[in-house]
A and B are shown apart, each in its own frame.
Chain A
Amino acid sequence: MAMRDLVTGGASCNDSGSSSSSNPLGSLANALIGSSSKTRDRLKEIPTSTSSGSSNQFYSNSDEQLTALPGSESEYQFNQHSAGQDVGFLHNYRSASHSGFTEAWDDIQPERESNFLESRHIYNEGFATQTQQSWDGPPQKILSGFLHSFVDSSRFGAPFRPTALPMLGLTKGEKQCIRNRSSIMARHFFADKSEEYINAQVDALLCSLDIDNDIQLKGPLPGRVRELEEYWNESQGLRAPVADGWVAEYRQNKPELFNPNGWANLFEQEHGPNGWASEFEHDQAQAVSLNQSNQHMSRLAGMEQTRILAHTLAQNNDPKFKNSRFLQFVSKMSRGELFVEGNQVKESSISASGDWGAEYRQHHDGGLSWADHAREKELLGDDKWVDEFSKLNVQDWVGEFEHQAEGAVGEDIMDSWASAYDEYLNEQSVAKHNSDSSKGVYVFSDMNPYVGHPDPLKEGQELFRKGLLSESVLALEAEVLKNPDNAEGWRLLGIAHAENDDDQQAIASMMRAQEVDPTNLEVLLALGVSHTNELEQSTALKYLYQWLRNHSKYGTLSPEELPDSLYYADVARIFNEAAQISPEDADVHIVLGVLYNLSREYDKAIDSFKTAIKLKPHDYSLWNKLGATQANSVQSAEAIDAYQQALDLKPNYVRAWANMGISYANQGMYEESIRYYVRALAMNPKADNAWQYLRISLSCASRNDMLEACDSRNIDVLQKEFPL
């Protein structure tokens, strides 16, 4: 058995002899040979399992790799970076001939899980000599200890060194979890350090834990896209489970498409098992991984890789393949006559992100496309394959590839990707989407203690009077569930929602009220106001006009037939007439004020509301309307006075609190605005608008530390931090 040869015939792979302590396999061999026969027997049973821990760590480039599993190469490459001290061993390893070892290595891949306990045991014996810290105990303990050491390293500012750990038997999901968490954590720990440093740290950690680094590669796309990704992460903040995990999640959803291994396999299926597809893909992944750290290096490494690739290809016995233009192309590439710009190659190698990449490039003139580059090198002019390749623009190439990989994909590259992502998003937020898309449909609360209450309407009115808006909403919901035809119940519910700063729900309940009682003026006005707030001008105009039509006094002013399309000017003219008929009717002035808001004649609107306030000085909603109008015409300071009046009359007026916040925010006083938003949200945690505005204000006030609390809607923390 190869492994056994390797271990027992340690001399051949340990020719430098002296370095047994820096040679893990050698030390392992020593430990094993010196250890009890029982252990040796166990080793026989699982002849290669020891390698699963160590070889991952100390593997390097060698020809064998090219026959190893696709996709694993970049991993090795990373390990090589991080475990540079073991170069000596690598040389030994390369010089020895042991193709059997690779075979064995391949064999045990699936067995890892089942064997890890024993292997850990054995491994530890050999390994303890090398590290000061011995990683012993159950996997959980090792893992937690290990992670602690990672955390510690951040404290002392010392770069974290990759350490070889025994097999922990982590599942794919766990690895993914660790990967996500650690990159987030690292960003917190090393907030003051550079991005490269953080990445290096995380890589070291992941590498030690045997977590696929190439996931890392694909996650945040390299180059400028990475910048976008970071920005995305930053802006997403605590939607983190979704935000940070989405790439991974997406990949889970479409493993076939995304995974380069899958890609290679699919390609292989189509083009026979020559293996070149996977090799080529290796090469690309390789180039990419290097490109991240050093562009120049990437070229050299790419060339080196291509050379090996060309070599491998040349060894292929298939004569058809030997003469293939691809081989010529690759060998030219290996001689440096053509080199590959890492980004572009990468984009075409990873299908799904490639779509995005293509789209990105469309908008980004800077990047020289791969095909262009190839065309530039006229050396290849006579080469038909490359010629053909360069004629296609990269998008087509990606598109064509998709055809092969998947059958048929939609023509619009961006869309195919976006829609797939949309699918995922939709799954995530079905509930939210429902409320968003099906506008005008009332959404009831899940848990309602007032269901079964003997007289919820009375209770609701009472609560509303006391200013307990959210409670009264629940009571009124119970009422309209009991009596769906109770217009008053729906109306009050609508008003409660409006005061609670939720226009969507207000509109939905007012529409129900209007169904039952189509001529109720208050309902029509409320609908007009809410639609104005939602910037739905024509709908708002329609309701305001209906208000006029149904008014006993002014109904006659409007023409008999209702015009198909309403013209604002006509409606405004009629209302002005009405105001002249009865200048003492506050309601007319209110509607007029709303109308002027629609036409953005704010000065006139302010005058109308002021007139109405003179007639109805205790109407808190009027003060708020005045304030909102002033705020929208950028008289924020005056607006705050008006809001204050409204709040004096009704301290629990959520909308006025939120509007206060908006006014401060629009004046650039973000700290103050946060306090008001928080106050509004404390009273109605369901006010989505206020949450969104709060988030904006937090980031404007550089209070990113509170974004997490905002995203998790943790009002207690926020209230503590921002008392009013």
Chain B
Amino acid sequence: MADSDQQLKSDAFLEQMKTHLTTDAGKEITKKIGLVYQLHIAPKKLGFNEVIYTVDLKKGEVKKGAFEGGKPDATFSFKDEDFIKIATGKMNPQIAFMRGAMKIKGSISAAQKFTPDIFPKPSKM
């Protein structure tokens, strides 16, 4: 991890997501959603230096890099910070979309299932 030129909050967060998906609650989510999301996370500005993650809620995996098994059901682009806000329930995905803080490609109905519910909440020390 910790190379300081590109450190995203989302890295830590998605790492937790990865382990979370192995738990019973995580498997429940996989079963419920059953979709593949691709996340493009930009450190500062949308579209620049994006880090791509695949959140495969069919198999219950989080991987760095684009989805290899075809076309993801929905692709999201956001800034690091905004992704964290959305995932922790600080920002409503709809508002994010309307503000232009989140761009969506793919199926809208798949995108609608992209809610804070599917993410684990980080505990605080």
Chain A interfacial positions (CB closer than 8 Å to B): 224, 227-228, 231-232, 235-236, 356, 360, 363-364, 414-415, 418-419, 421-422, 425, 501, 503, 529, 532-538, 541, 565-569, 594, 597-600, 621, 624-625, 627-629, 631-634, 636, 639, 655, 658-659, 662-663, 665-668, 688-689, 692-693, 695-696, 699-700
Contacts and interface: CB of A to CB of B under 8 A. Distances in A.
Contact of B123 (A422, A628, A688): A628
Given A537-B2, A568-B2, A666 B121 contact: yes
Contact of B22 (A594, A629, A634): A634
A568 B9 contact: no
B108 A537 contact: no
Contacts of B2: 537, 541, 567-569, 598-599
Nearest to B21: A634
B112 A659 contact: no
B25 A667 contact: yes
A363 B122 CA distance: 32
11 contacts: A235-B92, A236-B94, A421-B99, A422-B99, A629-B123, A634-B22, A662-B122, A689-B88, A692-B88, A693-B121, A700-B117
Contacts of B28: 668
A678 to B, nearest CB: 16
A254 to B, nearest CB: 15
B68 interface: no
A537 B12 contact: yes
Interface string B63-103: 00000000000000000000010001110101100111000
Contacts of A228: 94, 108, 112
B24 A662 contact: no
Contacts of B106: 363
A363 B100 CA distance: 14
Interface of B: 1-5, 7, 9, 12-13, 15-16, 19-20, 22-26, 28, 84, 88-90, 92, 94-95, 98-100, 104-106, 108-109, 112, 115-117, 120-125
B41 to A, nearest CB: 13
A360 B112 CA distance: 14
Contacts of B13: 535
Given A236-B92, A692-B88, A700-B117, A625 B108 contact: no
Nearest to A609: B125
A182 to B, nearest CB: 23
A224 B111 CA distance: 13
A3 B31 CA distance: 68
A598 B15 CA distance: 12
A663 B123 contact: yes
A663 B23 CA distance: 12
Nearest to A655: B124
A594 B25 CA distance: 26
B65 to A, nearest CB: 19
A425 B84 CA distance: 20
Contacts of B16: 600, 632, 634
A535 B84 contact: yes
Nearest to A533: B124
Contact of B20 (A501, A634, A695): A634
A639 to B, nearest CB: 7
Contacts of A629: 123, 125
A693 B89 contact: yes
B124 A503 contact: yes
Nearest to A593: B125
B25 A666 contact: yes
A414 B101 CA distance: 11
A382 B53 CA distance: 50
Given A535-B12, A600-B15, A696-B89, A565 B104 contact: no
